[in-house]
Structure 1
Amino acid sequence: MVDWYLWLKAGHVISFVAWMAALFYLPRLFVYHVEQRGSVPEAMPMLEVMERRLLRAIMTPAMIATWFFGMGLIGLGVVDWSAVWPWTKAAAVLAMTAFHMWCAAERKRLSTGRSTMTGRGFRIANEFPTLLLIVIVISVIVRPA
Structure 2
Amino acid sequence: MSILWIKALHVFFMIAWMAGIFYLPRLFVYHAQATNKEMHAQFVVMERRLWFFITPFAVLTLVFGVWTIYLYGGEWFKASGWMHVKLLLVSLFYAYHIYLYVLLKRFAAGENKHSSKFYRFLNEAPVLALLAIVVLAIVKPF
TM-score (norm 1): 0.91
After superposition, the C-alpha distances for 1:54-74 in whole angstroms (9 at most, x for unaligned) are 0002x1011000000001101
Q: Who is 1:32 aligned against? A: 30
| CA–CA distance in structure 2, aligned partners of residues 81 and 28 of structure 1 | 38
- Conserved 8 A contact 1:26-1:54: yes
Range with bigger deviation, 81-90 or 24-33: 81-90
Q: Who is 1:65 aligned against? A: 60
| CA–CA distance in structure 2, aligned partners of residues 4 and 71 of structure 1 | 15
- Conserved 8 A contact 1:88-1:135: no
Q: Which amino acid aligns with 2:47?
A: E
Secondary structure of the structure 2 residue equivalent to 1:80 = helix
* Aligned-residue identity in percent: 38
Q: Who is 1:8 aligned against? A: 6
- Conserved 8 A contact 2:69-2:77: no
Residue 84 of structure 1 and its aligned partner are, at CA, apart by 2.0
Q: Structure 1: state its 5+ residue gaps.
A: none
TM-score (norm 2): 0.93
**Count of paired positions:** 140
Q: Who is 2:127 aligned against? A: 130
Query: Would you tell me which structure has more helix in proportion to its own residues?
Result: 2
- Conserved 8 A contact 2:106-2:112: yes
Q: Structure 2: state its 5+ residue gaps.
A: none
Range with bigger deviation, 3-12 or 74-83: 74-83
